[in-house]
Structure 1
Amino acid sequence: MPAFVGAVQVVNISASGVFNIGDVFQIQPISSTKVFAGAGSFNTADQVKVINELSSTNTFDADVIDQGIGFTL
């Protein structure tokens, strides 16, 4: 339904955010990230004991380009 919108001030929109004024059929905010993390990085608990005597995270990416985000409905 059409509407008249007064003054709008946008201070910040996050990387995967959407700003819309007016009629819209469908909004799909999409984002992608690539994460490198070493051993024990994503542990969650009240008490965590991690023993990593020798740990290394391989961040070499030979193909340079990863699969992109395609058109979705």
Structure 2
Amino acid sequence: MPAKVGAVKVNNVGNSSVFNIGDVYSMSPESTAKTYAGGGSFITGDGIRIRLGQSTTYVTDKDKLDQNIT
């Protein structure tokens, strides 16, 4: 059954967002991200002690492609 839509005002649509008005069969938004972090960066909790000494994060990527969206 067709949708009847009145007036719509769109102020902003972000980079990885989906905007649709009316009937839709399928929607599948996709996005990718690459995060660099050193040792112990994503540890959460109370009273955590981290002793890494010297930590190095290598961020070189020879092929430049990891998660291709086509």
Q: TM-score range by the shorter chain?
A: 0.7 to 0.9
Equivalent residues of 1:37, 1:57 under 8 A apart: yes
Q: Where does structure 1 lack aligned partners over 5 or more consecutive residues?
A: none
How far does residue 66 in structure 1 lie from its aligned partner after superposition?
A: 2.5
Q: 1:18 to 1:50 in 2, by over 3 A?
A: same
Tell me how far apart the structure 1 counterparts of residues 55 and 10 of structure 2 sit (CA, whole Å). Answer: 45
| Root-mean-square deviation over aligned CA pairs | 1.6
Q: Report the identity percentage.
A: 49
Equivalent residue letter for 2:32: S
How far does residue 17 in structure 1 lie from its aligned partner after superposition?
A: 1.6
TM-score normalised according to structure 1 size: 0.79
Q: Where does structure 2 lack aligned partners over 5 or more consecutive residues?
A: none
Equivalent residues of 2:38, 2:56 under 8 A apart: yes
Tell me how far apart the structure 2 counterparts of residues 9 and 46 of structure 1 sit (CA, whole Å). Answer: 45
Moved over 2 A (4+): 11-16
Aligned residues: 70
Matches within 5 A, 1:2-41: 2-41=2-41
Deviations 1:21-67 (A, max 9, x none): 01110111111111111000110112221112101100011112224
Match of 1:65 in 2: 65
Q: 1:28 to 1:59 in 2, by over 3 A?
A: same
TM-score normalised according to structure 2 size: 0.82
